[in-house]
Amino acid sequence: MKDLLLITPPFTQLNTPYPATSYIKGFLNTKNISSYQIDLGIEVILELFSKESIQNIFSIPVDLKNTSENSQRIFALRDEYVKTVDQVILFLQNKNPTLARQICSMNFLPEASRFNQLDDMEFAFGNMGLQDKAKHLATLYLEDLSDYMVEQIDADFGFSRYAERLGKSANSFDDLYLKLSSEQTFIDVITLKILQEKLELVQPKLVCFSVPFPGNLYSAFRCAKFIKENYPNIKIAMGGGFPNTELREVKDKRVFEFFDFITLDDGELPIELLYENIFRSEHNGEPQFKRTFLIENEEVTYKNNSLKYDYKQAQVGAPDYTDLKLDQYISVIEIANPMHSLWSDGRWNKLTMAHGCYWGKCTFCDISLDYIRIYEPVSAKILVDRMEELIKTTGETGFHFVDEAAPPALMREVALEILRRNLVVTWWTNIRFEKSFTKDLCFLLKLSGCVAVSGGLEVASDRLLKLIDKGISVKQVAQVTRNFTEAGVMIHAYLMYGYPTQTIQETVDSLEMVRQLFEMGILQSGFWHQFAMTAHSPVGLNPEEFGVTPIKQEILFANNDIDFTDKTGIDHNQFSFGLKKSLFNFMHGINLELPLQDWFDFRIPKTSIHPDYIHDSLLEDDQFIFKPNSKIIFPGKNVIAENYIKTKKQNSWPYTRITFHLKTNIVNVEFEKEKAEWLIKIIQESTFENPKRITLQHLKTDFESNFEDFELFWFSKPMQQLKENGVILSL
């Protein structure tokens, strides 16, 4: 028996739990409030894709005359699906690895329309392992079954979303309310059966649904309805990303037939106050609430009468994944792209380096909302403490920092703390492509276990980047992506088209910039998004300043995405297919030489971008600039010194050959003996373990107390060799 039941409703991710309930549970632990959490999504998926459920699905009569050829084929092969589904799920849970050989034999899994895309299989997976190839095939197999379910069982089903259309900018509650009044679907029955088992096990007094996306909304309401009808004494709250962005103006009283409370923004204090209101029978005065909607005097009322401040990030505790079935998540590979697999393959512990965004200016972003507006970083020591705690409790050493944009200075400190503690971890995060990401910083991040970063290039046009207030230029993006790529860190770019006032020429030029980034080998992955105007962004709040006219509607339920007309009158939808098709080719390193016109079935203007623009952007080199405030670190400890006498024209000098054994190579340099001794002494004093890192100016002062002309020494050929190999890092 627990006081609170925390639920993530279907569906979000298959490979790892969405972190919100783990964050809340970690906080509740600090308050000695008992809680139990479940990811209903993965539990429903595992029940749905089981031998028993697949048999039940195929037992439902099918009108073969009025169904697609694909569904007819799947139905004809139903015995093969029933036979193989349990084994495939075990394989995707990494519990049956030997099945990979059977799957890759191409005569084990039944194949329907999803397998039609396999023409380039050998190209895509030629350099990848057997397990990855098998995961991809198994994913296609599940997607075939999903297509059958959508056509025959439940048109709203999706692996990472359910009935998403009902939650996307639903200004009215009518459609969702009607759906909730209708008969339960096949998937609803599974969901509610599992929910009932958990309710009987936990016996909570408060159930909190975290609803991150529109695709979780319907199931949250369906579950809440079930609780209201069968467990009327249980109070129900909803929070999370969807209400935080879309339900800030909710007015429809019918919503509160399902939920007693809807909380906004950071959930820790609002939930603590709900707990106090429910579990303490005696109140001193009026009940206290923080950013909470409820029904009062038969009206929807927003209550924010608590004088308590939200908790600092250092006070909320480490996420707690207890109760979640971490060994039962399934890893899938939807497309043959190593960066995309980070989202769907493998289980990641989720952490946040900082609350909010340190930049907080992008005009397309919801920067008026607290989750972005209020910036508060967590100290590197606390972050790495939490990493170590999660490694102990989950057994997983992979971390996804889910920041809006991780701060470079904090990333540096986290990397140093990881190296100082000698941890072996793998991590990735989202960044801004800003100049702080030097070659040396990128190398340091790689040393600490960073394998990938994603960041917003958005519209690869300097005029539009300035209008977006992105604070970067295309040239700067090229230099940063080069630095990460050379350090061995994968790069994914978020790309945007259709931004207000964007011209056709700018769309074409943006595509050319992207093509050149891939051509230079400094970008590995990307995704094009069409611009969407949101209610809480600067564009949505001040549309006239950006040349767009919103199409206003009465808001009774959700309000986020806003329809609009752009004064340019351009139909940006027409670019969608060509942009995405070209990007798919670029990511696989093919057809980079094709004219841009070949990607579109309508006339486009020629690009105005010079064909060597990105190449020329990378020619600038600042390695011979003296930066006195740079922090100097020497990662290499494996130093071997060998003294010898150097002779030239009957003159002799004592010299020292210093050998550095790095992980993948050996670096040899030679210095005059006294300078070599000075350098070795500095190296031993300036490792990761030493918290007092010296600056370049300190080095100069110390050097020139013994020798002359530090710059001549610092920029000498041997020192440049050490810098190029990562023996010396200047941060």
- pLDDT, one tens digit per residue, over 469-498 is 998 999 999 999 999 999 999 999 999 999
State the pLDDT confidence band at 66, using cuts at 50, 70 and 90: confident
**Least trusted range by pLDDT, from 39-48, 326-335, 427-436:** 326-335
- For the chain, list the domains and their CATH numbers: 1-42+161-317 (3.40.50.280), 61-152 (no CATH), 341-617 (3.80.30), 631-730 (no CATH)
Residues with Cβ within 8 Å of residue 155, at least 6 apart in sequence: none
CA 172 to mean position of chain CA atoms: 30
Mean pLDDT of 273-301: 87
Distance CA 654, CA 640 (A): 16
Residue 648 confidence (pLDDT) above 60: yes
Return the axis-axis angle of helices 40-48 and 214-230, rounded to nearest 10°: 90
**How high is the pLDDT of residue 589?**
87
Mean pLDDT of 639-651: 84
- pLDDT, one tens digit per residue, over 528-554 is 999 988 888 998 899 888 888 888 877
Contact 540, 526 (CB under 8 A): no
State the pLDDT confidence band at 631, using cuts at 50, 70 and 90: confident
Q: At which residue do the structure tokens 């490694």 appear?
A: 391
Mean pLDDT of 215-229: 96
**Which stretches within 421-536 are classed as H helix?**
439-447, 462-468, 474-487, 504-519
Quick one: what percent of the chain has pLDDT higher than 70?
96
How many contiguous H segments (helices) and E segments (strands) does the chain have?
28, 25
* More confident call, 224 vs 656: 224
Residue 694 confidence (pLDDT) above 70: yes
How many C-alpha atoms does 701 have within 13 Å on its Cβ side?
Answer: 7
Mean pLDDT of 715-724: 90
Mean pLDDT of 681-685: 85
- Among 638, 696, 693, 26, which residue's Cα sits nearest to residue 417? 693
Mean pLDDT of 28-54: 97
- pLDDT, one tens digit per residue, over 119-165 is 555 555 555 578 888 998 999 999 999 999 999 999 888 887 776 66
State the pLDDT confidence band at 329, using cuts at 50, 70 and 90: very high
Q: Using DSSP, state whether 458 is helix, strand or coil.
A: strand
* More confident call, 172 vs 687: 172
Residue 337 confidence (pLDDT) above 80: no
- pLDDT, one tens digit per residue, over 240-259 is 999 999 999 999 999 999 99
Beta-ladder partners of 7: 38, 209
Return the axis-axis angle of helices 78-92 and 51-59, rounded to nearest 10°: 150
Return the axis-axis angle of helices 268-279 and 20-30, rounded to nearest 10°: 60
What burial class does residue 368 get, using C-beta atoms within 10 Å of its C-beta: 0-12 exposed, 13-18 middle, 19+ buried?
Answer: middle
Quick one: what percent of the chain has pLDDT higher than 90?
66
**Least trusted range by pLDDT, from 116-130, 239-253, 384-398, 664-678:** 116-130
pTM: 0.90
Mean pLDDT of 168-196: 90
- Among 408, 412, 310, which residue's Cα sits nearest to residue 359? 408
Residue 64 confidence (pLDDT) above 80: no
Mean pLDDT of 186-198: 97
Distance CA 115, CA 136 (A): 10
* Mean of per-residue pLDDT scores for the chain: 90
Distance CA 208, CA 262 (A): 9
Angle at 489 between CA 487 and CA 495, to 5 degrees: 125
